[in-house]
Amino acid sequence: MNQAKVPAWVSVGLIPLLNILLAFLVSGLVFLAIGEDPIEAAGYLIYGAFGYDEGIGYTLYYATNLIFTGLAVSIAFKAGLFNIGGEGQAYIGGLGVGLLCLWFDSSLPLIVIAPLAIIGGALFGAAWAYIPAYLQARRGSHIVITTIMFNFIASSLMVYLMVNWLKAEGVMSPISRTFEESAWLPYMHDLFSPFGLDIGDSPLNMAFILALLCCVLYWGLVWHTRWGYQLRTVGTNPTAAKYAGIDNAKVTIWVMLISGGFAGLVGVNEIMGVNHNLLLNFTAGYGFAGIAVALMGRNHPVGIILAAMLFGALYQGGAELAFEIPTITPEIVVVIQGLVILFSGALENMFKGKIEGFFLRRAAA
């Protein structure tokens, strides 16, 4: 039986939009419950995220991390693998970036360090994903379990390394020495200022461009190479993949390496672009938020960019909101994010049937 068509703008535009609106509506009720005006709060949130140059810069800076982790979750998902380990892979990726910067910052120019650190971050992230991938492909250990566990291992490992090996001399907290400026990824506002453009001081840096390039890379890899073909076959029909002579185990390992690589690039943005030293907890949950981003972005790079911007806006707008209205704590912002994830992820199909039915009937009439 032929499947009738629902217009594309409905499934990729209208339905996600409705889900988000509903999430905001329920968030509004939460605000009412704690005695704040939801309209006013929404105003602060939107103004904070998009209302002025620095705000936009921050939004895009957060989005950069989310694009990396979103791509990481998404590409693994294309092969039917649920990589929950983006957090740990990003953490270890950052370690790789940091180590390279610490080693070479006084001996090499930025033009050499930057690609080195990018490759290093990706390789470290990939290596961290390799172990769960190997265990899944060759030993049958479930990748969800192993990647989750590896988040904890990564976290402990970083504490150990920071405290015992990498801590700068004479400081009381576990952070490394600050890199020489030759290992700082240029800020966007520094790049724009020679042209007389003032985009405000924000942490937004060159890593954003890298994230966009990764989206293009993802698109090419997945839809235009034979490797992507194998990947999608394994992900949608493993039996057909076997029939086609595709080595499922090999694909599993490869895709996890790439997934870990994408996640590892968070380190480029955070360590090389913003903090300029190695420190603890710079991943701040981006690895997990990446799952929601991939889900909302429907495993397509364009969708992932949009979803990452939305979440970036929530991070940034939420910070503004908590600042402007003291009774609203940062936790409330987490509630909004949770609602967005709930409605656009978990309850994704709540309206789907009804709306699609409506358009099908209309198309039929």
Partner 1 sequence: MSDQTHPYAIELEGISKRFGAVQANKDIGLQVPAGTIHGIIGENGAGKSTLMSIIYGFYEADSGTISIDGQQVDIRNSQDAIKVGIGMVHQHFMLVENFTVLENVILGAEGGAVLNQGISAARKELKRLEQEYSLDIDVDAVVEDLPVGLQQRVEILKALYRGAKILILDEPTGVLTPQEADHLFRILKSLTEQGVTVLLITHKLREILASTDNVSVMRQGEMVAHRETATTDKEELAELMVGKKVRLKVNKDEAQPQQAVLTAKELSFFDGQGVERLKKVSLELKAGEILGIAGVSGNGQSELLNVLSGITPMASGEIQFAGQTITANAAKTAAQMRDLKMAHVPEDRHKMGLVTGFEAYEAAVLGYHDSSDYNGAILMDRKAMLDECNERMAAWDVRPPNPHLKTANFSGGNQQKIVIAREVEQNPEVLLIGQPTRGVDIGAIENIHEQIVKLRDAGKAILLVSVELDEIMALSDRIIVMFDGAIVGQVDASEADERTLGLMMANAWNEEQGAQE
Cβ proximity to partner 1: between 54 and 247 the closer is 247
Q: How far apart are CA 55 and CA 63, in angstroms?
A: 12
Cβ proximity to partner 1: between 2 and 164 the closer is 2
The phi, psi pair for 205, rounded to 5°, reads -135, -175
Q: How far apart are CA 277 and CA 33, in angstroms?
A: 42
Which stretch in 37-45, 186-194, 220-228, 257-265 sits in contact with partner 1 by CB under 8 A? 220-228
Considering only residues 61 to 100 of the shown chain, the ones binding partner 1 according to CB under 8 A are none
Cβ proximity to partner 1: between 112 and 363 the closer is 363
- The interface mask with partner 1, positions 226-255, x = CB under 8 A, is x--xx-xx--xx-xx-xxxxxx--------
Tell me the residue type at 84. Answer: I
Q: How far apart are CA 2 and CA 316, in angstroms?
A: 45
User: Within a 10 A sphere around the Cβ of 219, how many other Cβ atoms?
Assistant: 14
Q: How far apart are CA 209 and CA 215, in angstroms?
A: 10
- What number of chain residues touch partner 1 (CB under 8 A)? 26
CB of 235 to partner 1, least distance (A): 9
Q: How far apart are CA 60 and CA 215, in angstroms?
A: 15
Q: Are 188 and 199 in contact (CB under 8 A)?
A: yes
Which stretch in 1-9, 59-67, 255-263, 312-320 sits in contact with partner 1 by CB under 8 A? 1-9
Q: Which of 254, 342, 242 shows the shortest CA–CA distance to 75?
A: 254
Q: Are 127 and 146 in contact (CB under 8 A)?
A: no
CB of 233 to partner 1, least distance (A): 5
CB of 117 to partner 1, least distance (A): 25
- The interface mask with partner 1, positions 263-302, x = CB under 8 A, is ----------------------------------------
Q: Which residues bind partner 1 (CB under 8 A)?
A: 1-5, 220, 224-226, 229-230, 232-233, 236-237, 239-240, 242-247, 360, 363-364
